[in-house]
Amino acid sequence: MTALGILDLLLEGGACLTSMDVKLHGSGLILIGLGPGDLGLMTKHAIDTARDADFRFLEGYTATLPSDQEGLLTEFLGEWTMIMRPDVENPTKLLDLAERSTVALLVVGDPMHATTHIDLLLRAKDSGIPTLVIPGISATSLAVTRSGLQSYRFGRQITLPYSYGDYLPTSPLELLFNNLSNNLHTLVLLDLDPTGMGVKKPVPMSPGQAVEILVKMHEKMDGTDTPIPPFDTPFLERECILLSDLGTPDQSLCSGSLDDIAGIQSGRIHCMIVPAEMDDIERAAFEGIRT
């Protein structure tokens, strides 16, 4: 249903978008991708549209800008206000404003990589509010590019959540194992919100925390009827790539075992890739960034 809603949103009334040079006139909601962390990576279309908007809101919980870039945002695009999860998932005020003015929601990375933003667009459509999406470079695409692994060999990506009290889902690890069983690499996005509420500024998960949570998931699965594939490599010895601060001047990549990765303390925000069996070129790329 969501997919059909998105298609309808893009091709409403049978119309086709023939140019990226699209603007809203008078009012509407614009989702603008800021790119992965360096404002210099924004497209000219995104910059011009953000500057022309009547109101700018920075969505501050699905991803964050480095502090130096956040400090430059006013100079770069104009005055803005931080907006958190409750005001995006219950967007009455946001949509009311968009009915009479142009409202830009600034999103780190690409705005269409979060179901929250897709839902927001569909709500705007249901309210008869004009919408526009301007893509940005996503850390997920950068991770594949920078890893040196072949893009067509990636399976379903997963998000590794913080553990909330006694709640620890094993579904992310089950999906990872499923990818490995099908000889597919896995991109692992690390959670940013230890509260799960999306109200306070995010606290990115560290590599050590990520590995600890994976180990706990593995132990939990081992104590249930959920089957664990019979891999030859002990869990903590499984190879991994850590990608930190992608798309910023502080970007770094390293590879090693999960145990090696757990000891890395540098970097602000991270994601990981757990490779399946690598071909010769992929293996050379992996060894080239080994810790």
Domains and CATH numbers, the chain: 23-137 (3.40.1010.10), 140-288 (3.30.950.10)
Written as six digits, the tokens of 80 are 């803005």
pTM attached to this predicted model: 0.87
Show pLDDT as tens, one digit a residue, over the chain (291 residues).
445 555 555 445 444 443 334 577 789 999 999 999 999 999 999 999 999 999 999 999 888 899 999 999 999 999 999 999 999 999 999 999 999 999 999 999 999 988 889 999 999 999 999 999 999 999 899 999 999 999 999 999 999 999 887 888 999 999 999 999 999 999 999 998 877 777 788 889 999 999 999 999 999 988 777 778 878 788 899 999 999 999 999 999 999 999 999 999 999 999 999 999 999 999 999 998 887
The reported pLDDT for the residue numbered 61 is: 87
